[in-house]
Amino acid sequence: MDTLRAQVGDAGLLMDLMNPDSMTDGLNTLTTEPGLRQTLVERSKQRLNSMIDERALLPIKVALESFRQRRLCWGRRVEFPASCRRFGHPGGNIK
């Protein structure tokens, strides 16, 4: 997380994707602070333009891919696929 924090700087909100409270706090901040989203968009564009070294982008790519894989287990379905087990959900029906 420290490496990702160094890469993101002030251009994003960092959340622990394994911690629902962290995600709730981050999303609440994003939705309740007027102008924050646009500020972060502008900062992130500037930050990405300054990163020309592919190695510098690696922690961000890894974090986004990890989140993408975890997000596949979310959905409106009641039935969770067995592949979600690696993300802490036992699979099967929600009770």
Tens digits of residue pLDDT in 27-75: 899 889 989 989 998 998 888 777 667 777 788 888 888 887 777 777 6
95 within some domain = no
71 within some domain = yes
Domain span at residue 31?
Answer: 2-89
pTM, rounded to two decimals? 0.48
Distance, CA of 37 to CA of 58 (rounded, Å): 23
Report the pLDDT averaged over residues 17-30.
Answer: 89
Angle at 24 between CA 22 and CA 25, to 5 degrees: 65
Number of domains in the chain: 1
94 within some domain = no
Better-scored residue on pLDDT, 30 or 78: 30
- Name the H helices within 1-95: 2-8, 20-32, 36-50, 54-71
Confidence (pLDDT) at 75: 61
